[in-house]
Amino acid sequence: MPFSSLSEIKTRLDAGQTTAVDVAKLYLDRIQAFNENLNAFVHIDPEHVLAQAQASDLYRAKHTPRPLEGLPIAIKDIFCTQDGPTRCCSKILDGFEAPYDAHVITLLKEAGAVLVGKTNMDEFAMGSSNETSAFGSVQNPWNTDCIPGGSSGGSAAAVAAALTPAALGTDTGGSIRQPASLTGLVGLKPTYGRVSRRGIIAFASSLDQAGPMTRTVKDTAMITSVLSSHDSGDSTSVVDAPDFNWLKACENRDMKGLRIGKPKEYFIDGMHDEVRARIEESLKICTSLGAEIVDISLPHTEYAVAAYYVIASSEASTNLSRYDAVRFGHRCENPEDLEDMYARSRDEGFGAEVKRRILTGAFALSSGYYDAYYLKAQQVRTLISQDFKTAFEKVDIIATPTSPIPAFKSGEKTDDPLTMYLSDIFTIAANLAGLPGLSQPCGFADNLPVGLQWIAPAWQEDKILSAASAYEEATDWHTKSPAGFGGNL
């Protein structure tokens, strides 16, 4: 049961074979047993979880169950949730309790989900290894000496170790897909503008999107279908976004005639040999299912990381100016004056990586440098988007590795920020272009999970779900679970 998919649990709930309370208890027990080891959750309120489960069982007794009735979902600490802390894993939000729920939290509650707690993450989602969290690093359930990826590392570890069957993450440069890849999960970053950002603590507003991390493609579809809707409270939430039946898209598993683009820039020197081998094997499986592999080029790929770090850091330096020690958050002791209060509170509250990004962004936006950095990066971003548009004239979907390497050892890259930034090399372009991207498990390298990434044109998540479902049906990587936590491998 613990390693069941969300849809398997739903089937049992619908058949009356279990209750939301029993399901919640099972996962609360596992959190109790394993969280100290993994540090995946930074806040758990068992009574609140059980109260939600009881309410769901009562609802089910009287009504037709809602789409996520009684299903546990863990929430990254970046989402504002009432009834408990929301800290974005930063000291600067110590003591903060959100006065409202993020829009997507409201949608999950209305769909009957049971929210099981707040998961660990890199501070303000800035990181690729979950080592910048103010609450300490997270261990990868497949090898606890390794990082789980980031920034949604707590959500990834929690699902991989079956402390919850699903979790919500956010993805600014790969923060859902990269940790999903490194922990053997399915993770989807929807098209920019599909999911409301209201109440999600902002990092880089033109890139941030929320999405699910689950065991199966269908589970990802179940959750995203609930999250996908226009929100008038988010000016970038797109009105009349093209929609489709998300579960039906997963049933359409026919790859015959599907043109899969294989971009040469995503098979580079320096990537792990076994990762390359797993992706090549995966593409062979797709060929055997009737797909055609088409060699393509996305020529500006090598500039994506540089453009991303200008844009994301610039937006972050602006967004994080709200932490002024006036309206919320940490305030230093005995400030001499207003300037001293701002400057000391921010020095005390922000961690090293967050300061690095704020300073990088402030520099890129500063007088005399704006054209060379911010404007230039936004022009390069246009070229990266055009690369994809040109490629999608020839292919239906693009397949790449999600990460060039499997999970690395904790502490291995913390001394060199630039090396850490390069671990997002394959996920960043989809954020810059606003495209949907999904990672799914496709084997192992050094006994650690490897992820296959699918990228589709904007609003065409259905193509991704169909291809990923076909691949999932033909393989059994999604059924593997870490033995150290009661799994099968």
Partner 1 sequence: MDINVNKIANLSRIRLTQSEADELAPQLSSIMGYIDKLSEVNTGGVPPTAHPHDVPMPQRADIVTNIDRRDALQESAPRTESGLYVVPKVIE
* Catalytic positions: 76, 151, 175
Contact positions with partner 1 (CB under 8 A) in 413-442: 417-418, 421, 432-434
Nearer to partner 1, 7 or 224 (CB): 224
The CB-of-304 to partner 1 minimum distance in angstroms stands at 10
Interacting positions 97-116 with partner 1 (CB under 8 A): 97, 99
Edge-first strand listing for the sheet containing 448-455: 41-43, 114-119, 72-76, 166-171, 209-214, 186-189, 437-445, 448-455, 397-401, 259-263, 292-296
CA distance 278 to 272: 10
Name residues contacting partner 1, limited to 364-393 (CB under 8 A).
364, 366, 372-373, 375-383, 385
* Least CB distance to partner 1 at residue 212 (A): 21
Least distance between partner 1 and beta carbon 423 (Å): 14
Site membership for partner 1, residue 355 (CB under 8 A): yes
Among 170, 317, 400, 410, binds partner 1 (CB under 8 A): 317
Distance CA 452, CA 469 (A): 12
CB 432 within 8 A of CB 311: yes
d(CA 470, CA 417): 38
d(Cα 451, Cα 390) in Å, to the nearest integer? 25
Total residues interacting with partner 1, rule: CB under 8 A: 75
347 interacts with partner 1 by CB under 8 A:
yes
The least distance separating partner 1 from the CB of residue 457, rounded to whole angstroms, comes to 11
User: Distance between CA atoms of 233 and 197, rounded to whole angstroms?
Assistant: 9
- String of contacts with partner 1 for each residue 212-251, x by CB under 8 A: ------------------x-x--xxxxx------------
d(C-alpha 302, C-alpha 422), whole Å: 10
Q: Of the two residues 146 and 429, which places its CB atom closer to partner 1 in the complex?
A: 429
Encoded one letter per residue, x for contact with partner 1 by CB under 8 A and - for no contact, window 286-305 reads --------------x-xx-x
Number of helices (H), then strands (E), belonging to the chain: the values are: 16, 11
Residues 180-219, interacting with partner 1 (CB under 8 A): 191-193, 206
Residue 270 as a binder of partner 1 (CB under 8 A): the answer is: no
Q: Which of 339, 368, 476, 488 is the binder for partner 1 (CB under 8 A)?
A: 339
Give the nearer residue to partner 1 in terms of CB position, either 144 or 318.
318
Q: How far apart are CA 419 and CA 268, in angstroms?
A: 16
Look up residue 145 and give its DSSP letter: T
357 contacts 421 by C-beta, under 8 angstroms? no
Give SS3 for 284: helix
Distance CA 113, CA 98 (A): 20
* Residue of 1, 33, 277, 326 that binds partner 1 (CB under 8 A): 326
Minimum distance of partner 1 from residue 399's CB (angstroms):
21
Separation of alpha carbons 330 and 324, rounded Å: 9
Q: Is 285 in the site for partner 1 (CB under 8 A)?
A: no
The nearer residue to partner 1, 242 or 290, going by C-beta atoms, is: 242
Q: Classify strands 259-263 and 437-445 as parallel, antiparallel or unpaired.
A: unpaired
Region of 259-267, 277-285, 352-360, 403-411 interacting with partner 1 (CB under 8 A): 352-360
Nearer to partner 1, 158 or 432 (CB): 432
Nearest distance in Å: CB 204, partner 1: 12
Q: Cα 109 to the chain's mean position, in Å?
A: 20
CB closer to partner 1, 167 vs 312: 312
For 24-165, where are the E strands, in sequence order?
Answer: 41-43, 72-76, 114-119
Minimum gap (Å) between residue 236 Cβ and partner 1: 7
By CB under 8 A, what part of segment 23-82 binds partner 1? none
Q: Going by C-beta distance under 8 Å and a sequence separation of 6 or more, which residues neighbour residue 346?
A: 92, 323, 324, 325
| Helix 461-474 with 273-288: angle, nearest 10 deg | 90
Q: Which of 13, 201, 458, 467 binds partner 1 (CB under 8 A)?
A: 458
Nearest distance, CB of residue 43 and partner 1, angstroms: 16
Torsion angles phi and psi, residue 193, rounded to 5: 100, -10
Q: Given the complex with partner 1, which of 281 and 348 has the nearer CB atom?
A: 348
Amino acid at 381: R
Interaction of residue 312 with partner 1, rule CB under 8 A: no
The owner of tokens 């296959």 is 452
Kindly report the length of the chain: 489
Six-digit token string for 237: 């939430």
Return the number of the residue (119 or 196) whose C-beta is nearest partner 1.
196
| Shortest Cβ 331–partner 1 spacing (Å) | 4
Give 370 or 447: the residue with its C-beta nearer to partner 1. 370
